[in-house]
Structures are given as structure tokens and as C-alpha cells.
Amino acid sequence: MRVILCLLACIFSLVGCQNDKPKPETNKEMVSFSGQAAMETIGTEKQLVVHQHVRGANVYVECIINGFSFNDGNGFLEVKVDGKAINPIKQAAFVIKALPKGSHQITIELMKNEQESYDLKESFTIKIV
């Protein structure tokens, strides 16, 4: 008898949990943008924002460039450390490794594949201790 009562109590509690769950209050209407429309909403002027972090002798760099994608093959980053260019960078995040101790001037410029500048350049100074 106890087993039957326990079984019925379990069944009733499971059935009680079957209430309608609230639906999320999101807009179900999806809006798609063509590439041109998306560019107009963001703005057509490119901007370069650089974040850097020094850890040991390495500099971790992240570049945010609105209206530009390295996947399109439209250019690269020219990186100079103390005026000396390192290999062209074709991604937004990278590491400059094994810098010697002291202060270093780092310049990052967005370039077109034809070695022509997009006129986007950022410079900063870091110190390796």
C-alpha cells in the first residue's frame, strides 16, 4: 500500500511540473542586413583601436578595426618595433615575442596589399623589465 501511495505521489508531482513554461520575451522578427546596409549603420570611416598587454618579454596586441576584415584579403598590419619592421601581420591579435629589456616604441599601421596605407596608425611605448 505504501509503495502505491509513493508511486502516486511521484506521478502527481511530475504531472504538476508540466505547467506551461513562460516564453522568452524576444522579438521573433529577424532582420537581415546586406553588407552595404550594415556598413552604413556602423559608419564607413575605418577606425583602428589597439589594446596591448606586456607579460614578461612578450607584448600581446589586439587590434580592433571597424569596417575591415583580414578574411577578405584587403590588407595587413605593418608592425614596427623601434622603427624596425617585423613580418606583416594578417590577423587582428598577435604577440610580439622576446623583446629585450628597456623601453620600446611600437607602431602599428593598417596597409593595403599594394603597400599603400589606409591612413590608420597607432603608436605606443612599452617597457620590458
What are the residue ranges spanned by the domains of the chain? 45-128
Distance (Å, whole) CA 79 – CA 88: 7
Q: What is the pTM of this model?
A: 0.64
> For position 33, what pLDDT does the model report?
43
pLDDT digits (tens, 9 = 90+) for 17-67: 555 555 555 444 444 444 444 444 445 678 899 999 999 999 999 999 988
CB 121 within 8 A of CB 109: yes
Superfamily of domain 45-128, CATH level 4: Immunoglobulins (2.60.40.10)
Looking at residue 39, what is its pLDDT? 43
Contact 71, 111 (CB under 8 A): no
What is the percentage of the chain residues whose pLDDT exceeds 90? 53
Tens-place pLDDT, residues 66-120: 888 888 888 999 999 999 999 999 999 999 999 999 999 999 999 998 889 999 9
Specify the pLDDT at position 67.
Answer: 84
